[in-house]
Amino acid sequence: MVTALPGLAALIAVTFTYFSVKATENQLQIARQGQNTAQQGQITDRYNAAITNLGSPSIDIRLGGIYALQRLMQDSPRDQPTVIAVLCAFVRDRTMPTRRDRTMPNRKPHKPPTIRPPTDIQAALTVVGTRKTANDGHANATVVDLDFTRLARAQLGHGNLSGANLSGANFTGADLSGADLIRANLHGADLTHADLHGADLTRANLQSADLIGAYLPRAYLHGADLFGAFLDGAELSGADLTRANLFNASLTGVDLTGVDLTGANLSAADLTRANFTRADLSGADLRGANLTDAIWPADAAVPKGWLLDTHSGRLKRTDT
């Protein structure tokens, strides 16, 4: 018995230590849960205060609400999808055209507008476009929805609008240079005179979009759907239009110098006076396209039904 006492004492000590450690762990866990609950309560309070500020008649208070939401999604990344949804709704509610405006014929201005969006609208757009996309969540949890908004001359250069719903939006004269618009829905959008220099529009939906006079040098339009789009007078030099769908599109007087049109669908397109200098037309479909007076690259095969005027470098129909 005497010899067993030290071992028994050691066992009791170990057991006591074990339960002491478990009790400490439980206390720490309870403390952490309480801390998390308190933090979530603070985030909820901050969110409610910011939403209240967005509805203020004072633009300064609205700006405070916008930047409070920006800080909130930085501090709580899991709330980013909600914050972006709120800011997009804020922009839509204050720039949404009336029902009559939606049904009116699309007017094509001869020059960009001079009026920019209000300061609070531009601030909300900047927060949306410069968000940390790593916090967008899984399965497209963050949705950028700005359909039918009036954002003429908005500044969204280098913003991230990948997959955004921008159908019917008015971006006349807007700065979208270098913007990420991969797979964006721009169906019927007004991009007249917009600056899309270097923008990534890979696989974007630009059906029936108005790009008259748009500035698109070195833009990425690989696989973009430009069915029935208006690109008259647009600047597309050096752009990537590989496998783009330009069926029935209007491209009169468009500058396609050095454009990669490999595998592009240009059938039934109006390419009157288009400039194809140094363009790559490998595998392009030009059936039924109007190429009257188009400047043709010297090293490209002349399409059937057309003749190349070697003096002017322009195409003429064989029946004229």
Whole-angstrom Cα distance, residue 317 to residue 274?
Answer: 15
Position 104 scores a pLDDT of 44
User: What is the band of 266 on the pLDDT scale with cuts at 50, 70, 90?
Assistant: very high
pLDDT score, position 105 = 44
Element (H, E) at 28: helix 5-54
pLDDT tier, 166 (very low <50, low <70, confident <90, very high otherwise): very high
Q: Which of 188, 116, 205 is nearest to 155 (CA)?
A: 116
Residue percentage of the chain with pLDDT more than 70: 81
Is beta strand 314-317 parallel, antiparallel or unpaired with respect to 306-309?
Answer: antiparallel
Confidence of residue 310 (pLDDT cuts 50, 70, 90): confident
Mean pLDDT of 97-121: 65
Higher per-residue pLDDT: 138 or 15: 138
- pLDDT for 111 beyond 90: no
Domain chopping of the chain, boundaries: 28-317
pTM metric for this prediction: 0.83
Which residues, 6 or more positions from 65, have their beta carbon under 8 angstroms from its beta carbon? 49, 50, 51, 52, 53, 54, 56
Q: Which two tokens stand for residue 245?
A: 């769908």
How would residue 97 be classed by pLDDT, with cut points 50, 70 and 90? Answer: confident
Q: Is 113 helix (H, G, I), strand (E, B) or coil?
A: coil
Query: What pLDDT does residue 42 have?
Result: 85
Question: In the structure encoding, which two tokens stand for residue 169, read together?
Answer: 């939006």
pLDDT score of 153 more than 80: yes
Higher pLDDT, 114 or 68: 68
What is the C-alpha R_g of the chain? 29
How sure is the predictor about 276, in pLDDT bands with cuts at 50, 70 and 90? very high
pLDDT tens figures, 127-141: 999 999 999 987 678
- Look at 34-43, 138-147, 150-159, 295-304 and tell me which has the smallest mean pLDDT: 34-43
- Does residue 184 carry a pLDDT above 90? yes
- What pLDDT score was predicted for residue 243? 98
Number of helices followed by number of strands (H, E) in the chain: 5, 2
User: Tens of pLDDT along 201-253?
Assistant: 999 999 999 999 999 999 999 999 999 999 999 999 999 999 999 999 999 99
Q: Is the separation of the CB atoms in 267 and 287 below 8 Å?
A: yes
Question: Binning pLDDT at 50, 70 and 90, where does residue 311 land?
Answer: confident
β strands within the chain, DSSP E: 306-309, 314-317
28-317: CATH class: mainly beta
- Say what percent of the chain tops pLDDT 90: 74
Q: If you write DSSP's letter for every residue of 42-108 in order, what string do you get?
A: HHHHHHHHHHHHHT-S-HHHHHHHHHHHHHHHHH-GGGHHHHHHHHHHHHHHHHPPPHHHHHS----
